[in-house]
Amino acid sequence: MNNTREVEVVVIGAGQAGLAGAYHLRRSGFQPDRDFVVLDHSPGPGGAWQFRWPSLTYGKVHGMHALPGMELTDADPARPSAEVISAYFDRYERTFDLRVRRPVDVRAVREGHGGPPWTEPVGVLGGGRLLVETSDGVWSTRALINATGTWDRPFWPRYPGQETFRGRQLHTAQYPGPEEFAGQRVVAVGGGASGTQHLLEIAAYAAATTWVTRRPPVFREGPFDEDAGRAAVALVEERVRQGLPPRSVVSVTGLPLNDAIRRGIEDGVLDRQPMFDRITPTGVDWADGRHVDADVILWATGFRAAIDHLAPLRLRGPGGGIRMEGTHAAADPRVHLVGYGPSASTIGANRAGRAAVRDIRRLLEREPAAA
């Protein structure tokens, strides 16, 4: 391909995980544009944070960890988190000269000519490179840091009668803030942090709210110390090591029983109901004959990993996920997934970015570039 550009490493995504990886590449001596490139499909800096709803102020953000090498200081807790973190990421990109290219959509990652470097001799056309096909041409690379997160793949469950509902259905990814639900009857689905936050906000405006979850929520009392954190991450890590689709770290930590949650429980806003069995034109039904009228069904049902562009590499195993060894795919040590599974947290992404770059350096030293 005449328009193919060559680099040592391509980083896909410029959220927390992608920027952490790019920072550690920089620190290891890799130069932007010459040795590595960061591709991001978002319109501006901020990763998924730039799309968060206005009522999610920085003071409400749970567990935001600073990017490596630069703290986030003097942030106004009353300011929307989308503004605070987007400005921080923008400053970070400029401070470390990461030269993120955006908006660039990555369409597919394919095997280059010559196959993986451990099966083909050095010097074969392609030299074991990967081809990253994008809206801005093709990049040929010896290693890949995939840091695409989950925001672009909201999970929408399917229930009988869903297509007949005459009201509005929306996902957390489309949540506009609580004011739009004034005077409406809202059924919120999901037992995670987003679902509870949405309900606590909406209840002040809505005519009625109903909270339904598939499993009873698990509330966590007391401090969440380092040992508990390691245990939670280990549970997620074991799944990806087995090649199963990752669960979020939050799903195994439980919900912190803070003052806002306690008030919601006392006020009856967080009165959890079991999952309904059917959606009707006017609301939701349970098998026992109970019905709740609804104008809105809000699906706070989480996200899945945005990795469809990696499909040509056939990395998924029989369990439906990508089996991992550390930060790289077990089937291909050139492909690192940062912010996937156990590293899908802000502090986890920082650590995984550093580990991925360390392994990539070893790989590139072991497999010299093709002549």
pLDDT score, position 233: 67
pLDDT tens profile 254-272: 777 888 899 999 999 999 9
pLDDT above 70 covers what percent of the chain?
A: 88
- What is the Cα–Cα distance from 336 to 326, expressed in whole angstroms? 9
pLDDT score, position 258: 84
Residue among 68, 34, 12, 35 at smallest CA distance from 354: 68
**Low-confidence winner among 52-61, 113-122, 281-290 (lowest mean pLDDT):** 113-122
Confidence of residue 368 (pLDDT cuts 50, 70, 90): low
pLDDT tens profile 313-325: 999 988 888 999 9
Which positions ≥6 away from 306 have C-beta within 8 Å? 148, 149, 150, 151, 152, 153
Helices (H) and strands (E) in the chain — how many of each?
Answer: 7, 18
341/75: higher pLDDT: 75
Spatial contact of 293 and 287, defined as CB atoms under 8 Å apart: no
Confidence of residue 228 (pLDDT cuts 50, 70, 90): low
Which positions ≥6 away from 105 have C-beta within 8 Å? 41, 134, 135
Considering the chain, what is the average pLDDT of its residues?
89
pLDDT score, position 124: 35
pLDDT tens profile 163-211: 999 999 999 999 999 999 999 999 999 988 889 999 999 999 999 999 9
pLDDT score, position 125: 32
pLDDT score, position 2: 56
pLDDT score, position 122: 38
Confidence of residue 241 (pLDDT cuts 50, 70, 90): confident
**Low-confidence winner among 84-88, 107-111, 178-182, 238-242 (lowest mean pLDDT):** 238-242
Confidence check: pLDDT of 121 > 60: no
What phi, psi does 54 have (nearest 5°)?
-60, -30
| Residue ranges of E strands in 55-136 | 106-111, 130-134
Provide mean pLDDT across the span 72-76.
Answer: 90
pLDDT score, position 117: 47
What domains, with CATH codes, occur in the chain?
A: 5-152+304-366 (3.50.50.60), 162-218+254-299 (3.50.50.60)
Please state, in angstroms and as integers, the Cα–Cα distance from residue 143 to each residue in 136, 336, 339, following that order.
19, 8, 17
pLDDT score, position 251: 67
